[in-house]
């Protein structure tokens, strides 16, 4: 494992000067992912914050080949690029060793892009799909997605007089991807850079389709102080809201176990989107959310042979 000092000396593939919000954790995460790459790489990007902010014509913040097609088809598009690579390599028209990484937000991955992602994973293209999950359609004004946690106040699941935020639980996309029986699936957080780089290396070298789900706090949508993004990601991990694990060829393994499992309120409290849950009539929701996190955590520990 390279040290952080060594890693930051690598010329970054994502350059400064992009137009993502100050304090956004997506570019931090993207830089961590790309630190694991030692070959030429083609980046695919679903429509979303990362895409619109980094490639406003005639400029680009990417020091590599990059393709955006539409919102829901990033995985299918990458399948095509990878197929072109396979074909041209077989014919001797390409000599370089390429890697293929696709980034999509939770909207383009959990929701509208799920079919295309599922298809690409099932077909086993040699590519890594990274979902940066900020828990809503942040780019278009913080509308709920199927990754939005229960109770969150968004512009399409607003906390109103009758309905206290999003009524439904979030979808467990990482488990859905693991159910595709692909060689590598993992969950990461930019608060644990070493874990990110290690997992991306494994994913890129797994020889087939790989999926990594990354939590990517968004201060616009979550409503916490701009500078606390990485801290929020760390709280998500330490409260076991966002556990870090990997599934290698079907084997589940916990890669980080918090020394002390913090209560979920520590993750919820600093976020404006959960403010209404602290009203007396809504406190039961926090209790139920905590129970859900506990159940998920226990099930994960069992799956990983830790309980």
Partner 1 sequence: MAEKKALTGNEAVALAMKQIEPDVVAAYPITPQTDIVQYFSNYVADGKVKTEFVTVESEHSAMSATVGAAAGGARAMTATSSQGLALMWEVVYIAASSRLPIVMPVVNRALSGPINIHCDHGDTMGARDSGWIQLYSESVQEAYDNLIQAVRIAEHPDLQLPVMVCQDGFITSHGLENAEILDDETVKRFVGEYKPRFSLLNPAKPVTFGALDLQDYYFEHKRSQSEAMKNAGKVILQVAEEFKKLTGREYGYFEKYMLDDAEVAVVALNSTAGTAKMVVDELRQAGSKVGLLKPRVFRPFPAKELAETLRGLKVVAVMDRADSFNAYGGPLFNEIRSAMYDTPGPKILSYIYGLGGRDIGPADVTKVYDDLLEIKKTGRCDSILNYLGVRE
Nearest distance from C-beta of residue 111 to partner 1, angstroms: 15
- Region of 2-10, 91-99, 208-216, 228-236 interacting with partner 1 (CB under 8 A): 91-99
Nearest distance from C-beta of residue 304 to partner 1, angstroms: 31
User: Among residues 130, 114, 119, 109, which one has the least CA distance to residue 41?
Assistant: 130
* Residues 232 and 133: beta-carbon distance below 8 Å: no
- Classify each residue of 39-78 as buried b or exposed e, where b means 16 or more C-beta atoms within 10 Å of its C-beta: eebbbbbbbbbbbebbbeeeeebbeeebebbebbbbbbbb
* Residues 170 and 147: beta-carbon distance below 8 Å: yes
Whether the ω angle into residue 54 lies within 30 degrees of 0, i.e. cis, is no
- Region of 69-77, 137-145, 164-172, 287-295 interacting with partner 1 (CB under 8 A): 69-77
Nearest distance from C-beta of residue 223 to partner 1, angstroms: 26
Taking CB under 8 A as the criterion, the residue among 15, 118, 146, 181 binding partner 1 is: 118
Nearest distance from C-beta of residue 160 to partner 1, angstroms: 34
Cα–Cα dist 191/103, whole Å: 18
Cα–Cα dist 130/124, whole Å: 15
Q: Could you say whether residue 94 binds partner 1 (CB under 8 A)?
A: yes
Taking CB under 8 A as the criterion, the residue among 2, 7, 21, 70 binding partner 1 is: 70
Taking CB under 8 A as the criterion, the residue among 6, 8, 115, 249 binding partner 1 is: 115
Where in 189-299 does DSSP place strands (E)?
Answer: 210-215, 245-248, 251-254
Q: Could you say whether residue 273 binds partner 1 (CB under 8 A)?
A: no
Cα–Cα dist 130/211, whole Å: 6
Taking residue 207's Cβ as centre, other Cβ atoms within 10 Å add up to: 10
* Residues 101 and 33: beta-carbon distance below 8 Å: yes
Interface mask toward partner 1 for 16-45; x: CB under 8 A? ------------------------x-x-x-
Taking residue 239's Cβ as centre, other Cβ atoms within 10 Å add up to: 21
- Shorter beta-carbon distance to partner 1: residue 100 or 193: 100
Rg of the Cα atoms in the chain: 19
Taking CB under 8 A as the criterion, the residue among 37, 78, 188, 218 binding partner 1 is: 78
Cα–Cα dist 79/119, whole Å: 9
In Å, how far from its chain's centre is CA 197?
A: 14
- Region of 85-93, 131-139, 156-164, 218-226 interacting with partner 1 (CB under 8 A): 85-93
Nearest distance from C-beta of residue 55 to partner 1, angstroms: 4
- Region of 1-9, 120-128, 151-159, 232-240 interacting with partner 1 (CB under 8 A): 120-128
- Shorter beta-carbon distance to partner 1: residue 59 or 249: 59
- Shorter beta-carbon distance to partner 1: residue 78 or 182: 78
Q: Could you say whether residue 161 binds partner 1 (CB under 8 A)?
A: no
Interface residues toward partner 1, by CB under 8 A: 40, 42, 44, 51-52, 55-58, 60, 62-70, 72-73, 76-88, 90-91, 94, 96, 98, 115-116, 118-120, 122-123
């Amino acid at each position: 494992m390279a040290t952080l000092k060594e890693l930051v000396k690598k010329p970054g593939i994502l350059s400064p000067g992009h137009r993502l919000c100050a304090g956004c954790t997506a570019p931090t995460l993207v830089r961590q992912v790309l630190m694991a790459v030692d070959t030429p790489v083609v980046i695919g990007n679903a429509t979303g914050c990362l895409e619109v902010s980094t490639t406003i014509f005639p400029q680009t913040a990417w020091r590599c080949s990059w393709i955006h097609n539409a919102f829901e088809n990033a995985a299918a598009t990458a399948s095509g690029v990878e197929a072109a690579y396979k074909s041209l390599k077989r014919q001797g028209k390409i000599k370089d060793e390429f890697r293929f990484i696709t980034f999509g937000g939770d909207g383009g991955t959990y929701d509208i892009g799920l079919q295309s992602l599922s298809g690409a994973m099932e077909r086993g293209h040699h590519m890594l799909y990274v979902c940066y999950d900020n828990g809503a359609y942040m780019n278009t004004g913080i509308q709920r997605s199927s990754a939005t946690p229960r109770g969150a106040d968004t512009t399409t699941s607003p906390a109103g007089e009758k309905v206290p935020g999003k009524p439904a639980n979030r979808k467990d996309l990482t488990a859905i991807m693991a159910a595709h029986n692909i060689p590598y699936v993992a969950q990461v957080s930019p608060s644990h850079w070493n874990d990110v780089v290690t997992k991306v290396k494994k994913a890129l070298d797994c020889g087939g389709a790989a999926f990594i789900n990354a939590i990517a706090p968004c201060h616009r949508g979550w409503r916490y102080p701009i500078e606390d993004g990485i801290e929020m990601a760390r709280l998500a991990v330490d409260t076991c809201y966002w556990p870090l694990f990997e599934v290698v060829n079907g084997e589940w393994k916990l890669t980080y176990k918090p020394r002390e499992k913090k209560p979920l309120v520590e993750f919820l409290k600093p976020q404006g989107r959960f403010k209404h849950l602290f009203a007396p009539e809504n406190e039961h929701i926090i209790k139920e959310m905590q129970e859900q996190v506990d159940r998920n955590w226990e099930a994960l520990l069992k799956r990983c042979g830790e309980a």
